[in-house]
Structure 1
Amino acid sequence: MEADITLTVDGRPRALRVDTRTTLLDALREHLDNTAPKKGCDHGQCGSCTVLLSGRRVVSCLILAAAADGAEVTTAAGLGDEAAPHPLQQAFVEHDGLQCGYCTPGQVCSAAGVLDEAAAGWPSAATPPDDLAEGSAPVLTDAEIRERMSGNLCRCGAYAGIVAAVGDAARAHAPAESGGNR
């Protein structure tokens, strides 16, 4: 059975017809030629296919495209480009947060989600109880970043650069009045 769906991908409305069993990842890659999200494990375990779905980070290999009908999808390609890179993309380059680059689009999308989640005050398993005051944002320490990014694997082991890149981007965009490392 097929379904007609509409997605806004990287700011551009796209209409397509997909088999109802098609994942969002396959719709993006095979139907829309958007190869930013990568097919790694195809089981939701590696994070290579991470995109932002209506602002929330998701592994696109586990979501049916038909279930995302009407949603806004942002891939790493939609965050920025060569002429105007997103601050996270720039930080990944500056901190050598990549080696082969296969996982990088998923890492960057996940990192964007991490920054938004922390700014919204969402705790993680690593958030100290003192950081859970109502209305406050958790401090993105290296341990906090590692916990929040733990769903994104890097076969090359570029984790030190990834953590540094996310921390740098978090500090660059923390509100001045907080004085914190969001």
Structure 2
Amino acid sequence: MEIERKFLIQKMPEHLEQYKSHLIEQAYLNVRPVVRVRREDENYYMTYKGGGMMAREEYNLPLDADSYAHLLQKADGNIITKRRYLIPFHAYTIELDVFEGLFEGIVVAEVEFPSIEEAESFAAPEWFGEDVTYDGRYHNSAMSRMKVEEIVEIQSLLASEGK
């Protein structure tokens, strides 16, 4: 079970380079249910995610580079690339996704929790902005289906808000 909340960012944390990070490329074979292929540095996965916004089933299966490349060609929509920074925060790890390419300018923080109760009682750091857990536009599976005009609209909105 994956239990996570998503947030926009008001202000980028200082010295991001001090944190461990991964370069991620991912694409979607299906969005209901979510079937995704991902390259994280030199590791490859296929992921199944059930329905839900904050809590949902999630299963990861390892792939090799050839299988990933084959499945990537079968993906629909946009390929998503991002740099994910892993930032310790109390008992949690903030996964700060700085999107690249087509989605440049979008930054989303995700925090995973062991229970729904912990997720609901989470006090975000001051540099977090709006909670977008229930805003489907910020789910990567939805982003993979966006048209260029929709992406530009979100980028413009975030730029005008200084996020």
Tell whether the structures are fold-level matches, with TM greater than 0.5.
no
TM-score (norm 1): 0.26
Query: Which one has the largest radius of gyration?
Result: 1
Give the structure with the higher percent helix: 1
TM-score by length of 2: 0.27
Q: Which has the higher contact order (CA 8 A, sep 6+)?
A: 2
More strand by share: 2
